[in-house]
Structure 1
Amino acid sequence: MAFATLPRLLLAAFLWWVSASSGLGQQFTPQVAAFIKVQGPVVIALTDAKVIDGTGRPALLHQTVLLEGSRIVQVGAAKKVKVPAGAQVINCTGKTLIPGLVMLHEHLYYTMPVAGYFNIAQMPYSFPRLYLAGGATTIRTAGSIEPQTDLAIQRLIGEGKLIGPDMDVTAPYMEEPALDIPALNTIHGPEEAAAATTFWANKGCHSFKMYMHATRADLAAVLREAHARQLKVTGHLCAITYREAAELGIDNLEHGFMASSDFAPGKVADVADYPAARQGLLQLPVASPAMKSLISLLVAKKVALTSTLPVFEPYTNREVVLGGGLEALIPQLQERETTTWQQNQQKDTASARLFKKEMAWEKQFYAAGGLLVAGTDPTGAGRTIAGYSNWRELELLVEAGFTAVEAIKISTLNGAKYLGREKEIGSIEAGKQADLVLIDGDPEQNINQVRKMTIVFKKGVGFDSVKLFESMKGKVGLN
């Protein structure tokens, strides 16, 4: 380290000490504090808001929500809630409060091909910021390429040194050698899978993800080690069918039914054939008895299903980057994504048909009593970007036929239930952690109003959503 940098480091350390000694509750570096719009120690009163509380109950008008420290201390009709003297009052007339989003298929990486091969690169700075800006106060990284980085980011966010959501970190992918993806972790058989599970559980990972070529024996080994530690296992499957995974005891399945190989013609056990799996889904009727049977099994086995509609959204007559985030990309990537979008116009009819089916199957699963949770999967072709995709998942759930109240519950309390944290997060209720989002509009009247988030409260600290988005324009693709 150059000695010339030492004065700056000492100054930064001094400023951190001042911040830590200020008595304002949670501690932040000056770089983080610059994006904080609202913070105690006084009570924060959000008055006269419409509240969609995340429980699925009907929205309530003219509500006041009191925050003290990191907690919600009172929620009720504005006429009945007494605002304490000295409270910081935020008038929310014409605005809506929803819980902080709990998104369960997120990544801290972005699609960056290498020499013609599909590849992914870590975005340790931009993506955590964008997730929080887009209302996600808790995320699960459903598959890591740099788990040591994800764990470090989790720590740095917790220490107030970086901006981002609370993170449930998933271990590296459990995948047998097959795909030429440079960043992808691979295991060789169930013994390695078990050893990897133990290693990363000891490092602090709470979730594990099976990938497309993993076998039933691999899954059984991971489940044995993870469940012994009360940790959970999910999967983006192909070699293993959903039915097989459910019978073995998997906790969660990713991408709705889009990764199901149960209906592939001539399915061979423990063999991944993605084209055949896709063909089986394309040929399957929306009201198929076979799908109904699978849904019944998943519900009976209490297997959660993660909706990741943004990553499958067709190109034709839709946005280049979902949620309106084209300007977040560096110029070269803006050009790449625009060119790809133009080339795919009117050429994705099969994808559009399957997309509509997936929406219908998610509705069927939900109606049958299944735990449907939400995620965005910012990877794929590169159109899905953290933060902006949070908004788009909510919009697409409504497009699928869910009400705004249901879409918000799926994206908040349902995710909290899956993580086992529903007593702490996921809804706007007295006693819970003060994770909530202020929207300058009414998403129940128009779900696109979710794009008008102004303040994202995480543990009672209000971050400036607009300022965070602005700060990351032209940055995605760098870090």
Structure 2
Amino acid sequence: MFKSLPAVLAALAFCGGLSAGKAQNFTPKVNEFIKVKANVIALTDATVLDGSGAPARQHQTVILRNGRIEQVGNAKKIKLPKEAEVINCTGKTLIPGLVMLHEHLYYTKPLDNYFNIAQMPGTFPKLYLAGGATTIRTAGSIEPQTDLALKRMIQEGKLIGPDMDVTAPYIEEAALDIPALNTIQGPEDAARSVNFWADKGCTSFKMYMHATKADLAAVVREAHQRHMKVTGHLCAITYREAADLGIDNLEHGFLASTDFAENKKEDDCPANARKSLQNLAVNSPEMKELQQLLISKGVAVTSTLPVFEPYTNREAVLGGGEAALVPEVRKKIVANWQAAQHKDSASAALFQKELAWEKQFYDAGGLLVAGTDPTGAGRTIAGYANHRQVELLVEGGFTPAEAIKICSLNGAIYLGREKEIGTIEKGKKADLVLINGDLSKDIKQIRQTEIVFKNGVGFDAPKIFESVQGIVGLN
């Protein structure tokens, strides 16, 4: 079957536009944030968490050449190329560039008393890269034309940011008063939306809370014909129903599941869904049966722990990102956080269950991927929240090596790009993150990110973070 020209162009764009072996030109504004730009780079004597899930390896040297990983091995056995720019990584950790699958280029921005969201094109792409995310999926768009343009401009070296799998506008029936949210009218309209946005360059699709089974069936049919995937933040459709209809991915761990709601009606979003999860035992056989069904159907589950993190005795802005916010926004978020202290015991208990359910799914062989979802109450910010997602996985019982794998290789596997990205491995793209500290001993050292290499070009993470302080919420 021959693909249409727009589909072919979209596929080429997603595969990188520029091959890793070719030099990339950057504008002067982007060059300001590049710390390392050499054809050959030697990262010596590092601790390496390679993204495979294997334990950390000490005293490793990694050679990068023309945007690719040329060698990885014991520092004493690797001969440094004479032409290499050498970076001493003693006491530091290298991890793969993060591959995060529930990111947005927008942020919470209420309209009167209604929940709403607004695009952050000037800050979020920068923050994602500074936080170590070299590849993201925008799991739901409100300005897809902006997302697609940003993707192109990043590829062309005009802007700072990660590689992007751009998701089309939400596929949602009219039900919620969220002004920025796209809506459709029935399965025929849903199918038309898939093909319209695929022709524009979007490469994945997301069902939302009030979409029906017929809507999902139409979207899966059209998307799969174009070799594209479908995810969902569901409610009216249960996880079991979605898996049976061929969905590829489910968002928000198990917290969006309505499978256990009493008297659940078909295509209805039940008001008692959250209560049903609160009443469900953490080791419930019913939950484990659902997990096994998802595994048998090959459905990935996306962990988005930061957006659900409780308030009490935790950070107001996750990952330490308070300084990034516009002062007026920060003041309001901190005030709401203070008011919520010791009033969120039910949320805290459910959050602990979610940590356990994600671990159960992973241990049973499920493909657990990760993202942050920078929406909610405004505590979740691009970049900073990516660090926090890794930390929270460790809080949930994963080893640091497993947490990095979930946030790198697993995402690459889902995107079908595991031969190119996701691990520190010979021949792969030189997407790596250099961190000042030993993550295998203290996962919070991930906040000490120094350099993010994308296609072998090293970006100054602290300088990028500094450049957008006080702006998030405005741009």
Q: Hey, what's the Cα distance between the residues in 2 that align with 1:231 and 1:219?
A: 14
Q: Report the equivalent of 1:29.
A: 27
Equivalences, count = 455
Structure 1 residues 425 and 24, CA gap change in structure 2 (3 angstroms):
closer
Residues 171 and 184 of structure 2 are in contact (CA less than 8 Å); yes or no, is this contact kept in structure 1?
Answer: yes
Counterparts of 1:298-317 in structure 2, within 5 Å, are 298-317=294-313
User: Please, which of 241, 246, 250 is the counterpart of residue 253 of structure 1?
Assistant: 250
Counterparts of 1:461-476 in structure 2, within 5 Å, are 461-476=457-472
Query: 1:330 aligned to 2:326?
Result: yes
Q: Report the equivalent of 1:318.
A: 314
User: Please, which of 89, 101, 104 is the counterpart of residue 107 of structure 1?
Assistant: 104
Query: 1:267 aligned to 2:264?
Result: yes
User: Please, which of 30, 40, 45 is the counterpart of residue 38 of structure 2?
Assistant: 40
Q: Hey, what's the Cα distance between the residues in 2 that align with 1:376 and 1:91?
A: 32
Q: CA deviation at 1:125?
A: 1.2
Runs (5+) with no aligned partner, structure 2: 1-20
The RMSD of aligned alpha carbons is 0.9
Q: Report the equivalent of 1:169.
A: 166
The letter of the residue matching 1:34 is: E
Counterparts of 1:101-180 in structure 2, within 5 Å, are 101-180=98-177
Q: CA deviation at 1:24?
A: 8.9
Residues 437 and 453 of structure 1 are in contact (CA less than 8 Å); yes or no, is this contact kept in structure 2?
Answer: yes
Point out 4+ residue stretches in structure 1 off by more than 3 angstroms: none
Q: Report the equivalent of 1:423.
A: 419
Query: 1:381 aligned to 2:358?
Result: no
Residues 394 and 400 of structure 2 are in contact (CA less than 8 Å); yes or no, is this contact kept in structure 1?
Answer: yes
Counterparts of 1:190-209 in structure 2, within 5 Å, are 190-209=187-206
Residues 366 and 372 of structure 1 are in contact (CA less than 8 Å); yes or no, is this contact kept in structure 2?
Answer: yes
Q: Hey, what's the Cα distance between the residues in 2 that align with 1:219 and 1:97?
A: 40
Query: 1:297 aligned to 2:311?
Result: no
Residues 24 and 40 of structure 1 are in contact (CA less than 8 Å); yes or no, is this contact kept in structure 2?
Answer: no
Q: Hey, what's the Cα distance between the residues in 2 that align with 1:76 and 1:261?
A: 48
State the identity %.
72
Residues 158 and 166 of structure 1 are in contact (CA less than 8 Å); yes or no, is this contact kept in structure 2?
Answer: yes
The letter of the residue matching 2:386 is: N
Residues 22 and 67 of structure 2 are in contact (CA less than 8 Å); yes or no, is this contact kept in structure 1?
Answer: no
- Aligned partner of residue 272 in structure 2, secondary structure: helix
Q: CA deviation at 1:71?
A: 0.4
Residues 391-431 of structure 1 deviation map (CA, whole Å, 9 limit, x = unaligned)? 00000000000000000000000000000000000000010
Q: Report the equivalent of 1:460.
A: 456
Q: CA deviation at 1:86?
A: 2.1
- Aligned partner of residue 305 in structure 1, secondary structure: strand
Q: CA deviation at 1:285?
A: 0.2
Q: Hey, what's the Cα distance between the residues in 2 that align with 1:456 and 1:107?
A: 20
Residues 106-157 of structure 1 deviation map (CA, whole Å, 9 limit, x = unaligned)? 0000000001100000001100000000000000000000000000000000
Q: Report the equivalent of 1:11.
A: none
Q: Report the equivalent of 2:233.
A: 236
Q: Hey, what's the Cα distance between the residues in 2 that align with 1:181 and 1:59?
A: 45
Residues 315 and 348 of structure 1 are in contact (CA less than 8 Å); yes or no, is this contact kept in structure 2?
Answer: yes
The letter of the residue matching 1:304 is: A
TM-score (norm 2): 0.95
